[in-house]
């Protein structure tokens, strides 16, 4: 019997495992890095052990430190969660060698599936369809996909469309794989464009019973990482489902799998499917399976680790479930991750929320920027889509830019509703480009609410002896200036937007237009004003002089580590050319040249830590060079 469980992970998955521990009567033990000292999962556990340091390599990727933490806390078992060391056979062996129960498959199975190259050979021998493997050094079949052999979560993956870019993309994939997994081995396979990503949840006990608990459609992806998942798949027919389940069961039986795992496939429009990998752990998207099948997969993981038997037949599925992953990132700017304080996080009732953050949580630069998963269940797919989109639209996330609006646009896209999804869906339908929105009503609400805050705080509002003059306020929204004005009259507040002001308070403003009233909630955090989903920063009337960034300078878009400098002083570059590469939140991010010209300065070097806004390199534009070369003589 497991009495005390160390959760060798953080954030959302740690809280998820803690929740099941409470339900089944197991005492949860957390671990935490220094940045996570005040994280929710630390407070919710019965005990917590510090892992000194901040980076994953110093903390959550230290198998020896995790085992020592389990022993120090008196735990008798370890649950690895997902990511970090969840698929590391050496860590599993170290847990077992310490006399602890490992909540997962045998280390030999993890080893067998940990290398995607070896796993494909093993599956082919078991009769599971696989894609041919291509040599990264000499591949001549394009387009192709470079993949990390030990990878997952989209890290260490690159699309290559010509031989000219092969070497560069292979090198980048190797660096990212080495950083994320400690193994830079990569391989290539043909890229199946417009294919679907479909996976089968398996659950197996140590007594020979294997369940195939439905398939999950995971085709909506960014950077090869899933952001929307659902079960059942709208593309899988009963006949195809039977073949998928048979292949997944064969895969599990071929390796003697025990515990919860996932067999992933690519599904073509013609209905053929090809093995991708076996994830020897719990998946991020496991909640949709739990909602449809009425099971607790974490509870089954613990029970199977204790030797329990599965019933012969799996439970019957019921209805449809969809999950959306909320990330602190900017889809419109190459999925740039965001860090900072989550001032407010609130999701409406009626949906399941698995979250790693709460009001006041800090999102740092060292870990994946996923904030939460929001899951909706309904009797039909259409009802589940509508329920999830409405819940996301009403979700309050203050303090950080997120992918929330992209998720809502995707869920409400007619092609998604029709079930016509594939792995390049977002690019095909240009969904990363925000829809134009008139933010002036939100800015006007912000201006009126701020005025109410000053009035109730007895702060000076300003005084005019010319009633014809309007009060003007300028905000900044996503780099653009938004100016609004209003005037108090004897009959109320007059605006230039055709809105009637019904009520104002420091926290909300109600407008009426053509007989329809709308209330705008307003929250203020320092110099940031949140009006619904619109974030605004008031611009001062008399701004302080500030240091001017040199023309042609490229600055760090986020805190991170320089992993490669691609240019040197004196080198000529085109606009958009790669100047250097930053690593932040476990992903690589290119820093391009804003203009074509000559590199005059490179201010950083590989391995250097930088902060957002730091100047990294300066490119002198072509017209500047021409202007400084002297005039022509006739």
What's the token pair of residue 384? 């589940």
List the one residue out of 603, 609, 577 whose CA is nearest residue 590: 577
- Let me know how long the chain is: 634
Phi and psi at residue 63, to the nearest 5°? -60, -40
8 Å CB contact between 12 and 282: no
Cis peptide before 232 (omega within 30 of 0): yes
- Angle at CA of residue 351, ends 424 and 195, nearest 5°: 15
Please provide the DSSP assignment of 237-281 as one string. -HHHHHHHHHHHHHHHHHTT--EEEEEEEEE-TTS-EEEEEEE-S
Rounded to whole angstroms, how far apart are CA atoms 362 and 327? 14
d(CA 263, CA 211): 12
Cα(216)–Cα(52) distance, rounded to whole angstroms?
A: 38
DSSP run (H or E) holding 447: helix 440-456
Residues 591 and 563: beta-carbon distance below 8 Å: no
Which residue, 328, 327, 323, is CA-closest to 289? 323
| Contact present, 74 and 63 (Cβ < 8 Å) | no
What is the spatial distance between Cα 602 and Cα 207, in angstroms, rounded to a whole number? 62
Residues noted as catalytic: 281
Round to whole Å and give the CA distance between 563 and 29: 35
Rounded-to-integer distance, Cα 342 and Cα 40, Å: 13
Beta strands in 358-514 (DSSP E): 361-363, 370-378, 396-398, 471-477, 480-489, 492-495, 500-504, 508-513
CA distance 532 to 345: 12
User: Do residues 152 and 565 make contact, with C-beta atoms less than 8 angstroms apart?
Assistant: no
Q: What are phi and psi of 603, to 5 degrees?
A: -100, 0
Distance CA 288, CA 281 (A): 16
Question: 260 — phi, psi (to 5°)?
Answer: -95, 135
Q: Residues 303, 260: contact at Cβ < 8 Å?
A: no
């Amino acid at each position: 019997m497991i009495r005390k469980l160390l959760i060798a992970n953080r954030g959302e998955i740690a809280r998820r495992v803690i929740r099941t521990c409470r339900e089944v009567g197991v005492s949860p033990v957390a671990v935490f890095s220094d940045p996570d000292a005040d994280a929710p999962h630390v407070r919710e556990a019965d005990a917590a052990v510090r892992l000194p340091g901040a980076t994953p390599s110093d903390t959550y990727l230290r198998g020896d430190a995790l085992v020592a933490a389990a022993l120090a806390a008196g735990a008798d078992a370890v649950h690895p969660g997902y990511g970090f060391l969840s698929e590391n056979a050496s860590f599993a062996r170290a847990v077992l060698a310490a006399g602890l129960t490992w909540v997962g498959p045998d280390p030999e199975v993890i080893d067998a599936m940990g290398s995607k190259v070896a796993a494909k050979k093993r599956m082919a021998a078991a009769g599971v369809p696989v894609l041919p493997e291509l040599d990264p050094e000499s591949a001549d079949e394009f387009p192709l996909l470079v993949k990390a052999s030990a990878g997952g979560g989209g890290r260490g993956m690159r699309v290559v469309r010509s031989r000219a870019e092969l070497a560069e993309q292979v090198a980048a994939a190797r660096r990212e794989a080495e950083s994320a997994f400690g193994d830079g081995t990569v391989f290539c396979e043909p890229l199946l464009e417009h294919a679907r990503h479909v996976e089968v949840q398996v659950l197996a006990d140590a007594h020979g019973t294997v369940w195939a608990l439905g398939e999950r459609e995971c085709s909506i992806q960014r950077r090869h990482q899933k952001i929307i998942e659902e079960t059942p798949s709208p593309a899988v027919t009963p006949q195809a489902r039977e073949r998928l389940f048979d292949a997944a069961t064969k895969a599990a039986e071929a390796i003697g799998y025990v515990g919860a795992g996932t067999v992933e496939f690519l599904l073509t429009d013609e209905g053929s499917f090809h093995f991708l990998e076996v994830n020897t752990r719990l998946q991020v998207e496991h909640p949709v399976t739990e909602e449809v099948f009425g099971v607790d997969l974490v509870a089954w993981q613990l029970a199977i680790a204790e030797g329990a038997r599965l019933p012969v037949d799996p439970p019957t599925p019921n209805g449809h479930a969809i999950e959306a992953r909320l990330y602190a990132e900017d889809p419109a700017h190459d999925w740039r991750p965001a860090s900072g304080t989550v001032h407010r996080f609130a999701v409406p009732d009626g949906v399941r929320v698995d979250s790693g953050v709460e009001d006041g949580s800090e999102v740092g630069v060292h870990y994946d920027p996923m904030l939460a998963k929001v899951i909706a269940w309904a009797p039909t797919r259409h009802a589940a889509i509508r329920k999830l989109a409405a819940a996301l639209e009403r979700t309050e996330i203050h303090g950080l830019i997120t992918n929330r609006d992209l998720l809502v646009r995707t869920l409400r896209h007619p092609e998604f509703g029709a079930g016509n999804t594939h792995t390049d869906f977002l690019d095909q339908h240009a969904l990363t480009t925000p829809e134009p929105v008139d933010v002036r009503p939100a800015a006007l609400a912000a201006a009126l609410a701020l005025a109410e805050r000053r009035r109730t705080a007895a702060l000076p509002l300003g005084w005019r002896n010319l009633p014809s003059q309007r009060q003007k306020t300028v905000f900044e929204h996503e780099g653009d200036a938004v100016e609004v004005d209003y005037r108090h009259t004897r009959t109320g507040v007059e605006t230039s937007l055709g809105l009637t002001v019904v009520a104002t308070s420091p926290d909300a403003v109600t407008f009426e237009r053509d007989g329809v009233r709308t209330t705008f909630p307003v929250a203020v955090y320092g110099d940031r004003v949140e009006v619904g989903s619109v974030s605004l920063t008031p611009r001062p009337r008399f701004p302080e002089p500030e240091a001017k960034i040199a023309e042609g300078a490229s600055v760090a878009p986020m805190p991170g580590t320089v992993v490669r400098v691609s240019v040197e002083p004196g080198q000529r570059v085109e606009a958009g050319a790669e100047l250097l590469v930053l690593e932040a939140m476990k992903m690589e991010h290119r820093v391009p040249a804003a203009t074509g010209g000559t590199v005059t300065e490179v201010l950083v070097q590989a391995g250097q830590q930088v902060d957002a806004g730091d100047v990294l390199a300066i490119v002198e534009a072509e017209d500047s060079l021409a202007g400084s070369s002297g005039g022509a003589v006739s």
